[in-house]
Amino acid sequence: MNTTDSKYVLDLSPEDYQKATIEVAFLLDAFASTIDNIMGGNTAPVGRIAGRDTAKKLPFDLVDPTLPDIIRVLSEQMRAGFDFTLAEDNRLLFRSCIIREMCAVRNITTGGALCQLFHSYFDGIVNGLLCRPVKSTIISVGDECQLQTAVQ
């Protein structure tokens, strides 16, 4: 896209961005709630399948990666919406999280269906890159969310 060509330049105000944020939050809430209702709360398989599919499409090739390698690469790839690291005990620490922000916009309890679906999706990505089953369990939510990650 040529940003100097006026037909491609968007003049968006802060209000436009706020409206877009509200719309995206609404759509994420509706999506997660629908999947949660259909699956009876067991959304992990849906998230993991989507994550493994995403892993196949990521623009990098890792040779014999470890969990820390993958988390480091994903942290860089996802930095626009997330700030996360892996502690030595395999705890994932999410300092900032666009999903948490979307929950706040919709007054959705952090750690609920949307968070569970996202973390299953994230596990699926890691599983696809590591070629081993991965499962994260939410330990705590708040200004910094913590998940215990297990690799089989």
Tens of pLDDT, residue by residue over 67-118, are: 999 999 999 999 999 999 999 999 999 999 999 998 898 888 899 889 999 9
Task: Tell me the two tokens of residue 59.
Answer: 């623009």
- The pair phi, psi for residue 149, each rounded to 5°, is -105, 130
Q: How far apart are CA 118 and CA 104, in angstroms?
A: 15
> pTM value?
0.86
Write out the DSSP string of 15-36: HHHHHHHHHHHHHHHHHHHHHH
Alpha helix ranges (H) inside 40-138: 44-57, 67-77, 98-106, 113-130
Asked if pLDDT for residue 123 goes beyond 60, the answer is yes
Instruction: Indicate if the pLDDT at residue 64 is higher than 80.
Output: yes
Torsion (CA) 80, 85, 90, 92 in degrees, nearest 10: -50
Place of tokens 């509706």: 30
| High-pLDDT (> 90) share of the chain, % | 61
**Spatial separation of the C-alpha atoms in residues 67 and 21, rounded to whole Å:** 32
The model's confidence at residue 5, banded by pLDDT at 50, 70 and 90, is: low
> Across the chain, how many H-helices and E-strands are there?
5, 4
The predicted structure's pLDDT at residue 1: 45
Distances (CA, A) of 117 to 6, 90, 149: 39, 20, 15
**Higher-pLDDT residue of 82, 8:** 82
Domains defined for the chain, CATH in brackets: 14-151 (3.30.1380.20)
Structure tokens at 73: 């690469």
Q: What mean pLDDT is reported for the chain?
A: 90
pLDDT band at 6 (very low <50, low <70, confident <90, very high): low
Q: What integer pLDDT is reported at residue 4 of this predicted model?
A: 55
Tokens of 142: 């708040």
